[in-house]
């Protein structure tokens, strides 16, 4: 991901600026700019250090494949379980938070996913990435949870399947995407139908393949693209709707 | 589903000559097209600026989605962190140990107290069956016991169901259904058939008399200031009064709650009495069981079966056919005892003229005083009661640990079953004055109220339930106080598992403090007062919601005006 790779470059630039200011300070230049650069340097150093250490995204290079912990967990070592939970719970919680309607649901689901993992850990094939398997279990659980709740959204999903996909004006689409912040997107995500939301989370949060998504949602692989595109359309509508609402509110 | 019309292959073939359609664009950006098609798309995009913009927009959209989903907009909930802590610290074995210890405690309780008790009762001539069996199925106290037990069983079942419902509340969604279930259950319990009583009730003010020539067929319930039986009761006699004189003949049992019970006549059955003084100068064909201050069996008095007493002073000048089991302060024997004696208390004295045909065991403070004129079949086996010995026994500490574990386990179950109530109790406990005040009232007032409720037969269920609740509260008091102490030591928390951790620490501290000689007793007393008061306050608050709860909810009313604890089924003005 571009924004992830950009981080270290920004940090290098910060380092360079800090060095320049240090040289200037040694040469008895203005100390003001040194303070600013130092702050920036330490702030970004701290940020990237945290970024490297945080277990938010499991595929991040900060965390190696926990082969040993998994082996111990399979043998029933409670401490190994604790370690796995510590490393992966934040990511799983965020996954559930994006996929399920409320925070309480996400909390419950996270705990339940880890309960399920205990029972299923022996089914895990160590040659494949652990995080991928974990997301699969989580997706499975969340989708089950959503499906069990027979609420009006079922109807909506059916309706949206019948609608033809309209082709947007590229530059208009480009502008819409450019103007929206992450927070707005998160807000809009909450308005989507459950299948759309689930598909987007599986694809863009946990980076699951089309095959895996097809498997989870119970659709043909060729149809996954349609589901995703429809989900994007729903999201754009929600973003536009929210924006219109906000504009109306401000007026 | 119009799956086929949207399949990527068709779109690509149809539109590649013109502009790229969105589906193809997305599949291209996502890397889902095969090599040849991807090359076609790429070549087209190089020539067509509109399609380039589309691809860029789609790519940006993907990135925006990923970024917004990955951003840590909220921290990991503390509930999950607590779960994590519990998982990390691998507490399972500790809870396993606690459960094991609690099970051992229960077993110890049974073998240490219940079984010996049963044996003693059996020794005392209560037949070969257990006390429970005797009391319940043989109708020793009251023939209605059997129905009562069924009722108690139903109540127990309801309690368990209630707990299960509370536990599953989140899944049931809606307190209304829970409340409805509870009400339905209580109604079902209340509509249980009451015990059959072909009985006569007498409640005639000051004095109730059964005249010399009068014969009452069936049981008699007599309730008044003074009860005097000169005639015959052909059945059981139940008396609730200040003074009772039985001069006539009772063919069944006598159950008496009285200040003074005097038996001059003849009773063919048993006497069970809860009195201040019981005086037997007549004859009782079967057994005598009393909870009393003083019991006297006169020279002329005769008990055919055994005598079991829990009292202060027991004096036997008359004849007892079988064993004596006495828990009391002073026991004096001057009469003829057909069986043995098992006594526990301060002193045991055999006056001249005493004759005991069975073995005598005495456990007490002072060695038994046997007069030279007394005839004992076997010498007295005496065990000196030692007060401070218990601290020196290593077993004492082991049992303390086991009991502490049992309390902790109970607390754990409570905190998980009734988390809100537990918190409410804790909140109440922090109002020290109110808690202690209410604690005094509840500790002494409730048993008295329960006893009074028991006396009026109709209120027996309520009385017994209240008493059971009171006992439970007594036990829970240390859990509440323990948690408060834990919070003093480790700081406040709102998380259930952290709270349980504080409870564990606090309960241990409280129990250790309770073991200090002399001071420990006062600490335990204070703990009971405080904890009981807190729990009672929480119960009181739970049942008296704010006024808005009783106002009918109109649709126009915003839901936020309802307090969080409002039960949908709460009583509303008709």
Q: Which of B501, B498, B81 is nearest to A82 (CA)?
A: B81
Tell me which range, B149-163, B164-178, B530-544, is most confidently predicted by mean pLDDT: B530-544
Residue B556 has pLDDT above 50, yes or no: no
Residues A232 and A183 in one domain: yes
Residues in chain B: 574
Q: Do A177 and B64 touch (CB under 8 A)?
A: yes
Give the Cβ contact number of residue A240 at 10 Å: 13
Q: How many CA atoms lie within 13 A of B319 on its CB side?
A: 10
Q: In Å, what is the CA distance from A239 to each residue of A174, A192, A232?
A: 13, 10, 10
pLDDT at B191: 43
In a domain, A60, yes or no: no
Whichever domain contains A126, its CATH number is 1.10.1740.10
Contact A161, B2 (CB under 8 A): yes
In a domain, A166, yes or no: yes
Residues A180 and A143 in one domain: no
pLDDT digits (tens, 9 = 90+) for A215-250: 888 889 888 999 999 999 989 888 887 766 655 544
If one compares B310 and B574, the residue with the highest pLDDT of the two is B310
Which domain-ending residue is among A148, A174, A204?
A: A148
Residues A81 and A135 in one domain: yes
Place of tokens 């106002």: B551
What residues pair up with B347 in beta bridges, in sequence order?
B330
This complex has an ipTM of 0.71
Tell me which range, A242-246, B168-172, B399-403, B553-557, is most confidently predicted by mean pLDDT: B399-403
Residues A135 and A121 in one domain: yes
Determine the Cα–Cα distance for residues A7 and A30; give it in Å rounded to an integer: 29
Q: Which of B498, B84, B82 is nearest to A86 (CA)?
A: B84
Residues A194 and A233 in one domain: yes
B79 contact residues in A (CB cutoff 8 A): 107
Residues A6 and A71 in one domain: no
Contact A40, A14 (CB under 8 A): yes
- How big is the A-B interface in CB pairs under 8 Å? 137
B21 vs A82, A167, A174: nearest CB: A167
If one compares A115 and B142, the residue with the highest pLDDT of the two is A115
Q: In Å, what is the CA distance from B451 to each residue of B274, B382, B559?
A: 11, 37, 44
Alpha-helix runs per DSSP H in B32-130 = 35-47, 49-70, 78-88, 92-109, 115-123
Residues A9 and A80 in one domain: no
A99 contact residues in B (CB cutoff 8 A): none
Tokens of A182: 């992450």
pLDDT band at B158 (very low <50, low <70, confident <90, very high): low
| Range name among B192-201, B293-302, B414-423, B553-562 with the lowest pLDDT average | B553-562
B57 vs A57, A174, A183: nearest CB: A174
Domain region containing A7? 2-53
Residues A242 and A160 in one domain: yes
pLDDT digits (tens, 9 = 90+) for B497-542: 778 888 888 888 888 888 887 788 888 888 988 998 888 888 877 7
Top residue of A179, A192, A204 to mutate, by most chain B CBs within 10 Å, is A204
How wide is the angle at C-alpha B434 spanned by C-alphas B432 and B437, nearest 5°? Answer: 105
Determine the Cα–Cα distance for residues B27 and B12; give it in Å rounded to an integer: 10
Q: Do B61 and A232 touch (CB under 8 A)?
A: yes
Q: What Rg, from alpha-carbon coordinates, does chain A have?
A: 23
pLDDT at B171: 47
Overall domain count for chain A: 3
| Range name among A131-140, A155-164, B16-25, B34-43 with the lowest pLDDT average | A155-164
pLDDT at B91: 46
pLDDT band at B194 (very low <50, low <70, confident <90, very high): very low
pLDDT at A250: 43
Residue A20 has pLDDT above 60, yes or no: yes
In a domain, A59, yes or no: no
If one compares A45 and A248, the residue with the highest pLDDT of the two is A45
Cα A122 from chain centre = 27
| Chain B touched by A218 (CB under 8 Å) | no
Q: Do A183 and B87 touch (CB under 8 A)?
A: no
Residues A98 and A142 in one domain: yes
In a domain, A8, yes or no: yes
Closest CA of chain B from A159, distance in Å: 10
Tell me which range, B248-252, B378-382, B431-435, is most confidently predicted by mean pLDDT: B248-252
Residues A99 and A45 in one domain: no
Determine the Cα–Cα distance for residues A176 and A237; give it in Å rounded to an integer: 10
pLDDT at A200: 92
Which domain-ending residue is among A148, A172, A195?
A: A148
In a domain, A136, yes or no: yes
Q: How many CA atoms lie within 13 A of B21 on its CB side?
A: 19
| Chain B touched by A48 (CB under 8 Å) | no
DSSP string, chain A: -HHHHHHHHHHHHHHHHHHHHHHHHHTT--HHHHHHHHHHHHHHHHHHHHHHH--SSTTSTTS---HHHHHHHHTT-HHHHHHHHHHHHHHHHHHHHHHSSSHHHHHHHHHHHHHHHHHHGGG--TTS-HHHHHHHHHHHHHHHHHHHS--THHHHHHHHHHSPPPPPPHHHHHHHHHH--HHHHHHHHTTS-HHHHHHHIIIIIS---HHHHHHHHT--HHHHHHHHHHHHHHHHHHHHHHHHHHHHHH-
Q: Do A107 and B53 touch (CB under 8 A)?
A: no
Residue B431 has pLDDT above 50, yes or no: yes
Determine the Cα–Cα distance for residues A248 and B540; give it in Å rounded to an integer: 50
Residue B331 has pLDDT above 80, yes or no: yes
Determine the Cα–Cα distance for residues B444 and B451; give it in Å rounded to an integer: 11
| Chain B touched by A47 (CB under 8 Å) | no
pLDDT digits (tens, 9 = 90+) for B458-478: 566 777 788 888 888 888 888
Q: What Rg, from alpha-carbon coordinates, does chain B have?
A: 37
Determine the Cα–Cα distance for residues B429 and B427; give it in Å rounded to an integer: 5
DSSP string, B354-413: -EE-S-EEEEESS--EE-TT-EESS--EEEE--SSHHHH-HHHHHHHHHHHHHHHHHHHH
Residues A202 and A240 in one domain: yes
Determine the Cα–Cα distance for residues B199 and B215; give it in Å rounded to an integer: 13
pLDDT band at A202 (very low <50, low <70, confident <90, very high): very high
Place of tokens 């249980």: B192
| Chain B touched by A189 (CB under 8 Å) | yes
Residue B396 has pLDDT above 80, yes or no: no
Q: Do A170 and B92 touch (CB under 8 A)?
A: no
If one compares B498 and B324, the residue with the highest pLDDT of the two is B324
Q: Do A165 and B80 touch (CB under 8 A)?
A: no
pLDDT band at A203 (very low <50, low <70, confident <90, very high): very high
A114 contact residues in B (CB cutoff 8 A): 83, 87
What residues pair up with B314 in beta bridges, in sequence order?
B295, B331
Residues A72 and A136 in one domain: yes
Residue B175 has pLDDT above 50, yes or no: no
Average pLDDT in chain B: 73
| Range name among A52-66, B239-253, B259-273 with the lowest pLDDT average | A52-66
Which domain-ending residue is among A148, A164, A190?
A: A148
Q: What is the mean pLDDT of residues B15-25?
A: 75
């Amino acid at each position: 991901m571009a924004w992830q790779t950009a981080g270290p470059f920004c940090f290098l630039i910060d380092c360079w600026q800090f060095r320049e200011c240090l040289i200037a300070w040694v040469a008895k230049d203005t100390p003001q700019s040194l303070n600013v650069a130092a702050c920036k340097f330490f702030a970004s150093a701290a940020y990237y250090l945290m970024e490297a250490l945080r277990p938010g995204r499991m595929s991040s290079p900060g965390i190696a494949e926990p082969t040993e912990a998994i082996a111990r967990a399979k043998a029933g070592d409670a401490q190994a379980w604790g370690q796995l939970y510590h490393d992966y719970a934040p990511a799983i919680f965020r996954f559930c938070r994006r996929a399920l309607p409320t925070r309480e649901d996400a909390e419950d689901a996270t705990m339940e996913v880890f309960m399920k993992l205990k029972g299923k850990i022996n089914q895990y094939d160590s040659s494949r990435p652990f995080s991928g398997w974990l997301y699969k279990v989580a997706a499975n659980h969340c989708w089950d949870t959503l499906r069990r709740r027979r609420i009006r959204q079922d109807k909506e999903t059916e309706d949206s399947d019948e609608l033809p996909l309209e082709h947007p004006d590229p530059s208009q689409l480009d502008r819409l995407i450019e103007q929206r912040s992450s927070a707005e997107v998160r807000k809009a995500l909450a308005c989507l139908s459950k299948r759309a939301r689930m598909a987007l989370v599986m694809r863009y949060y946990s980076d699951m393949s089309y095959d895996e998504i097809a498997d989870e949602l119970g659709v043909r692989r060729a149809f996954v693209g349609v589901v995703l595109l429809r989900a994007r359309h729903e999201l754009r509508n929600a973003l536009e709707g929210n924006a219109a609402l906000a504009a109306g509110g401000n007026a | 589903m119009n799956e086929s019309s949207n399949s990527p292959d068709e779109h690509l073939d149809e539109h590649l000559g013109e502009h790229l359609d969105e589906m193809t664009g997305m599949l291209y950006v996502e890397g889902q097209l095969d090599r040849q098609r991807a090359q076609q798309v790429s070549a087209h995009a190089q020539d067509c600026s509109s399609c380039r913009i589309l691809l860029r927009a789609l790519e940006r959209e993907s990135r925006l989605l990923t970024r917004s989903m990955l951003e840590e907009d909220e921290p990991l909930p503390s509930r999950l962190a607590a779960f994590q802590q519990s998982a990390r610290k691998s507490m399972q074995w500790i809870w396993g140990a606690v459960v094991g210890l609690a099970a051992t405690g229960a077993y110890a309780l049974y073998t240490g107290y219940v079984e010996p008790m049963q044996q003693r009762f059996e020794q005392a001539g209560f037949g070969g069956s257990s006390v429970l069996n005797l009391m319940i199925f043989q109708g020793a106290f009251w023939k209605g016991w059997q129905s009562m037990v069924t009722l108690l069983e139903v109540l127990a079942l309801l309690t368990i169901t209630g707990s299960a419902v509370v536990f599953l509340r989140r899944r049931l969604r809606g307190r209304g259904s829970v409340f409805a279930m509870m009400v339905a259950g209580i109604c079902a319990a209340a509509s249980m058939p009451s015990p059959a009583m072909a009985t006569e009730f007498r409640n005639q003010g000051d004095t109730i008399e059964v005249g010399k020539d009068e014969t009452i067929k069936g049981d008699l319930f007599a309730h008044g200031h003074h009860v005097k039986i000169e005639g015959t009761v052909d059945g059981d006699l139940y008396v609730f009064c200040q003074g009772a004189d039985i001069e006539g003949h009772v063919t069944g049992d006598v159950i008496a709650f009285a200040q003074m019970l005097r038996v001059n006549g003849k009773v063919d059955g048993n006497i069970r009495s809860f009195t201040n003084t019981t005086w037997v100068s007549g004859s009782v064909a079967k057994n005598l069981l009393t909870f009393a201050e003083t019991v006297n069996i006169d020279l002329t008095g005769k008990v055919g079966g055994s005598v079991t007493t829990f009292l202060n002073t027991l004096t036997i000048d008359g004849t007892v056919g079988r064993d004596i089991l006495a828990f009391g302060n002073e026991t004096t024997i001057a009469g003829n005892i057909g069986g043995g004696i098992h006594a526990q208390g301060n002193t045991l004295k055999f006056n001249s003229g005493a004759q005991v045909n069975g073995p005598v065991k005495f456990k007490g403070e002072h060695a038994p005083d046997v007069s030279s004129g007394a005839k004992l079949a076997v010498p007295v086996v005496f065990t000196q009661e030692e007060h401070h010995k218990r601290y020196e026994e290593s077993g004492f500490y082991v049992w303390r640990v086991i009991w502490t574990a049992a309390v902790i386990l109970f607390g754990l179950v409570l905190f998980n079953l009734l988390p809100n109530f537990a918190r409410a109790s804790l909140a109440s406990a922090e109002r020290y004055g109110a808690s202690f005040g209410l604690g005094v009232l509840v500790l002494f007032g409730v048993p008295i109220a329960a006893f009074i409720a028991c006396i009026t037969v109709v209120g027996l269920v309520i009385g017994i339930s209240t008493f059971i609740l009171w006992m439970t509260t007594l036990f829970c008091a240390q859990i509440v106080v323990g948690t408060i102490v834990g919070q003093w030591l480790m700081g406040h928390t709102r998380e259930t598992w952290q709270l349980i951790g504080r409870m564990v620490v606090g309960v241990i501290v409280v129990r250790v403090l309770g073991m200090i000689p002399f001071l420990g007793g006062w600490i335990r007393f204070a703990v009971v007062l405080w904890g009981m008061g807190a729990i009672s306050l929480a119960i009181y608050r739970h049942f008296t919601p704010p006024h808005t709860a009783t106002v009918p909810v109109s649709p126009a009313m915003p839901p936020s005006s309802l307090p969080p604890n409002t039960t949908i089924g709460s009583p509303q003005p008709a």
